[in-house]
């Protein structure tokens, strides 16, 4: 058998196992060395293939699919710097615990450290940012069973208690084009291996790998239950990174049983919806901005679930009360307490542990005034925000979009200021809202492509009764510029998405830092105004474009865009300096109102 015939069988066996395990989406950018992998996918109707012109977009697109579906999307690249361009998406996948399969084609091992074209050392390309890595040598006839086993190990490596990316680096020698195999007779002196060629019967995976969720000992559960039952001023802090709706339900049930108020991050899955209304605090950032309020609202127990909240003032609140018992429950890949304030740290599946606590905890000792104080401050600040709702600044733009989205819709909120504005100024809506973000490494790269992947995942997968309105993404102008290539997939596949670009002509978040007082360096080297408008960008990619110049226009335009199908870009221009003044004035007014209530 020629080399190409062996390579063809090898890749078919590998991809066959992934399909059996449930991988249905493949993203790729064109290249030569990955030919055999791509052809194995192209000739297998179990895969949906999404093509991109650059690998960074392909990586973040795959991340978006995996984020929404919970099943790893596989991304295929050719060798060299093509594989290196996946690195930002790999980091985000690892940090946020999103499953991802990285299938990088490579030159033969003997060509490394030579002047061979497009050859780099890819064996440990992503360093510590993968859950596992497999360095696969050139195909051999006797290893068909092993390549199937590696496919199973790679898939299951993305799952479990610590989900994330897994790297499989596959070396191929030319020729790379597929060869039609007409005979199953012995080749190259090796016996025929029908099991390696065809896999197990009944479409079963070659290796069934059992993975149990991490269980917490009964003694630990009882200890935590005892602390909870003794608490009179308990508080729940629900951070981001909670991956299932079941976790949110268990948090709401825990709050109901114990009477503990909930500070809910916008990405927690707990912030918006019909549950927990009376105990859910939506203005915690501005409450915790007041030093006297932080002291008055000192808890005697804090139960933290997931990652640290986006609000820096809530983090300050937790740090100032570090002597209080703080229980952290986290299934994340990283240590979930960079604040170093936890007294108890439980590395566990959040949903199962909360379920155990809910089954055993007996409430009834909570100080009624405790929850009432939180609710009183929360209501007073919400009144301040509503009283300023006609002011044209980024906080009200984000709030208006959030409030206008139909029940069950999907909102992607970008890093930098959008996520903070949703946290500070967002409403306490009782309609369900699914909120996504890339907070693993909190970067602004790959945002457009991630949104495209989330939208692609939802195409044709909506269950009965689920909202089929467009995915709405709110991002800043710098994030938009950073990933304009992501618009190509949105246009090519006519994805049902609204890209809302808040254009403040530069890096508005830097106004939060003391460096803002240092001119001209602040403008020249930090905000870096670009002077761009984006109508021409939309025209280049063939995407319908609209601009809103005030809140009234935004209301009218968004009400239409939220029900239309297909891709849309909505640009909203904001004066950066005026925006920052307005934001500070509202926060100061809220702070003064809290002082009046104290």
pLDDT digits (tens, 9 = 90+) for 506-543: 766 666 667 666 677 667 666 677 788 899 999 999 99
Closest CA relative to residue 260, chosen from 383, 379, 361? 361
Unique residue bearing structure tokens 């050859």: 119
Tell me the HSE value of 465 on the side-chain side, using a 13 A CA sphere. 1
Summarised one tens digit per residue, pLDDT across range 306-335 is 888 999 999 999 999 999 999 999 887 778
Q: Are 415 and 474 in contact (CB under 8 A)?
A: no
Closest CA to 363 of 274, 253, 279: 253
Integer Rg of the chain from CA: 26
Pairing relationship of beta strands 165-171 and 545-548 according to DSSP bridges: unpaired
pLDDT of residue 38: 93
* pLDDT at 555 (0 to 100): 95
Q: Following DSSP, what letter does each residue of 128-152 receive, concatenated?
A: TSSSEEEEE-S--GGGHHHHHHHHH
Beta partners for residue 236, in sequence order:
262, 303
- Residue 468 CA to residue 562 CA, distance in Å, equals 10
Smallest Cα–Cα separation from 441: which of 83, 69, 98?
A: 98
Query: For 11, phi and psi rounded to 5 degrees?
Result: -70, -35
Give the Å distances, CA to CA, from 530 to 285, 534, 587: 31, 12, 29
Distance CA 221, CA 227 (A): 10
Q: Which domains does the chain have, with CATH numbers?
A: 3-179+189-203 (3.40.50.970), 218-381 (3.40.50.1220), 388-597 (3.40.50.970)
Whether residue 477 contacts residue 444, with contact meaning beta carbons closer than 8 Å, is answered with no
Taken in order 102, 103, 105, 111, is the CA torsion positive or negative? positive
Residues 6+ apart with CB under 8 A from 319: 339, 341
| Distance between CA atoms of residues 557 and 117, nearest Å | 51
* Tens-place pLDDT, residues 461-478: 766 566 688 999 999 999
Q: What is the pLDDT of residue 519?
A: 74
Residues of the chain with pLDDT below 50 are 1, 182-189
Q: Residue 400: its pLDDT value, please? A: 96
What is the tens place of the pLDDT at every residue in 185-233? 444 445 567 888 888 888 899 888 877 666 778 888 889 999 999 999 9
What does the DSSP assignment read for 159-218? STTS--EEEEEEE-PSP-S-------S-BTTBPP-HHHHH-SGGG--SS----PPPPPPH
């Amino acid at each position: 058998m020629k080399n190409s015939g062996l390579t063809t069988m090898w890749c078919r066996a590998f991809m066959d196992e992934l399909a059996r395990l449930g991988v249905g989406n493949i993203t790729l950018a064109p290249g030569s060395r990955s030919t055999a992998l791509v052809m194995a996918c192209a000739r297998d109707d179990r895969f949906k293939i999404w093509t991109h012109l650059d690998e960074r977009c392909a990586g973040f697109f795959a991340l978006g699919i995996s984020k929404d579906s919970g099943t790893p999307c596989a991304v295929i690249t050719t060798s060299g710097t093509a594989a290196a361009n996946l690195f930002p998406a790999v980091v985000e996948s690892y940090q946020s615990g999103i499953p991802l399969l990285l299938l990088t084609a490579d030159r033969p091992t003997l060509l490394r450290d030579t002047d061979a074209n497009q050859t780099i050392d890819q064996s440990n390309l992503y360093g510590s940012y993968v859950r596992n890595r497999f360095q696969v040598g050139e195909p051999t006839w006797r290893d068909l069973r092993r390549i199937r086993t590696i496919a199973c190990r790679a898939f299951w490596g993305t799952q479990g208690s610590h989900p994330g990316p897994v790297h499989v680096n596959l070396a191929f020698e030319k020729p790379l084009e597929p060869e039609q195999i007409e005979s199953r007779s012995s080749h190259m002196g090796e016996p025929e291996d029908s099991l390696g060629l065809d896999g197990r019967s009944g479409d079963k995976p070659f290796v069934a790998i059992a993975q149990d969720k991490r269980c917490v000992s009964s003694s630990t559960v009882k200890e935590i239950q005892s602390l909870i039952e003794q608490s009179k001023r308990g508080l729940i802090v629900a951070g981001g990174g909670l991956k299932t709706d079941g976790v949110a339900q268990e948090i709401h049930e825990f709050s109901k049983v114990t009477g503990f108020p909930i500070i809910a991050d916008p990405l927690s899955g707990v912030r918006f919806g019909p549950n927990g209304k009376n105990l859910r605090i939506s203005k915690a950032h501005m409450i915790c901005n007041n030093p006297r309020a932080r002291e008055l609202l000192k808890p005697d127990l804090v139960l933290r679930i997931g990652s640290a909240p986006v609000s820096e003032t809530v983090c300050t609140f937790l740090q100032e009360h570090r002597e209080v018992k703080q229980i952290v429950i986290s299934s994340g890949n990283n240590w979930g307490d960079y604040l170093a304030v936890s007294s108890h740290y439980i590395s566990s599946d959040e949903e199962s542990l909360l379920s155990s606590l809910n089954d055993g905890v007996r409430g009834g000792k909570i100080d009624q005034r405790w929850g009432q104080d939180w609710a009183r401050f929360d209501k007073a600040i919400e009144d301040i925000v509503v009283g300023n709702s006609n002011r044209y600044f980024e906080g009200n733009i984000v709030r208006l979009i959030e409030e206008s989205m139909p029940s069950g819709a999907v909102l992607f909120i970008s890093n930098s200021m959008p996520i903070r504005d949703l946290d500070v100024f967002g409403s306490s809506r009782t309609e369900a809202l699914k909120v996504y973000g890339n907070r693993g490494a909190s970067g602004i790269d790959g945002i457009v492509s991630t949104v495209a992947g989330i939208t692609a995942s939802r195409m044709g997968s909506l269950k009965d009764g689920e909202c089929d309105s467009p995915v709405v993404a709110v991002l800043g102008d710098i994030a938009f510029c950073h990933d304009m290539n992501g618009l190509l997939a949105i246009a090519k596949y006519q994805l049902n998405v609204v890209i809302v670009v808040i254009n403040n002509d530069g890096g508005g978040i830097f106004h939060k830092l003391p460096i803002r007082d240092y001119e001209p360096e602040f403008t020249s080297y930090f905000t870096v105004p670009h002077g761009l408008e984006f109508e021409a960008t939309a025209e280049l990619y063939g995407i319908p474009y609209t601009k809103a110049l005030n809140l009234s226009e935004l209301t009218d335009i968004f009400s239409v865009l939220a029900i239309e199908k297909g891709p849309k870009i909505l640009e909203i221009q904001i004066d950066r300096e005026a925006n920052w003044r307005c934001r500070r004035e509202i926060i100061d007014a809220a702070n003064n109102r809290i002082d009046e209530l104290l």
